[in-house]
Amino acid sequence: MKLTVIGCGRWGTFLAWYLDRLGHAVTLYGREGSARMQRLMDERRNDYLQLPERVRLTTVLAEAAEAETIVISIGSQNLQDLMSQLAALNIGHKTIVLCMKGLEAGTGRRLSEIVNGTLNATNRVAVWLGPGHVQEFCAGVPNCMVIDSADASLKETLAEAFAGDLIRFYYGEDLLGNEIGAAAKNVIGIAAGMLDGLSLTTLKGALMSRGTREVARLIAAMGGNELSAYGLCHLGDYEATVFSRHSQNRRFGEAFVRGEAYEKLAEGYYTVRALTALSAQYGVELPICQAVYAILFEQRDPREALDALFKRERKRELK
C-alpha cells in the first residue's frame, strides 16, 4: 500500500515504523512547528525508535493526503479540525484508518461519525483498536488488536495488510461497540490510577468487573452488542491500561489524586465528559464514569468519591 500516517507522537511514529517494516510505502505527516516533527526531521528518531530513510517525512498536508490509505493517530479532540482541513482538499476514494481512542467531548460523537460527517461518501473509514504500548512493541513484545469497519471487505483487507509478527488482528463485528468500549477503557484507566494513588490497588478487581458491565450496558442502549465490552477494545485492553506503567491514563489518575503535575495526553480526561452526557441521553447509569467526572470536574474529594462508589448498595454480581 501507499499510505500516510498523520500524527508524529509516539504512537503515530511507531505506526510509520511498523507499516514500513511490513513493506508499505509510508509517509509520516506532522505539523510545521511541531517540536516532535522537527526532531524526526533532524535526527529521524524519537525516544523509542529510529525511522529508516525509506519513510518520507512531510509537514504539508496536501502531500500527506495523496496516499490511498491515511492512518490517523492524533488527539481525539483535534480530529474534527483535521477532517475539516482534509475536506477542504476535496479528498475522495480514500481509506481513513483511525488508530486512536476517544469521543468528542462536547457532543459525544464517535470518531468514525466525525469522519463520515465531514468527508464525502466516497471515502471509507475503519478503526484500529486494542491493547499495546509502543515501548513493548519496539522491544519485540507482540500483541493482538482489532480492525473494524461498516465495510466488511475493507476490514478484511486491512487486517491482512497490517498483520505482522508484532500484531495479530481480529475482525470486529460491532463498530459502535468497539469505539465506545475503546474510548471508555481510558476512563477506567484513570480510575485505576486513582486507586493506585490512594493505595487502594486491591480494588482494581472490582473496578474491572464493574467497569465492563457498565460499559456493556451503555453499548447495548446505544444499539451495539454489549459483548463487545468483553473483547479487545475494552476488557482485553485492561492489562495495558489498568496496570501498565506505560499507561498514560493510569499515570494521570495516580498523579491527579497525589496533587502532582502530569503533562502528557490522557484521553480519558475528555472521554469522561462525553460518557456522562451519553449516560443522561440514553438513561444508563455509569457509576464509575460519574465518580471520575465528579473528581476531575466537580472538585469532589477523590477518596470520598471512590469510597462512595465501592460502598454503594448491595447488588447481585453482574446485575
Nearest to 267 by CA among 255, 250, 284: 250
Helices and strands in the chain: count of H runs, count of E runs: 14, 8
Contact 41, 19 (CB under 8 A): no
Q: Report the alpha-carbon distance of residue 188 to residue 174 in Å, rounded.
A: 21
Estimate the crossing angle of helix 248-257 against helix 268-282, to 10 degrees: 90
Q: How many CB atoms are located within 10 Å of the residue 81 CB? A: 11
Q: Which of 185, 204, 264, 311 is catalytic?
A: 185
If DSSP codes are grouped into helix, strand and coil, which group holds residue 44? coil
How many CB atoms neighbour CB 314 within 10 A? 5
| Cα–Cα distance for residue pair 128/130, rounded to 1 Å | 7
Based on the residue annotation, tell me whether 94 is a catalytic residue of this protein: no
Which residues are marked as active site? 185
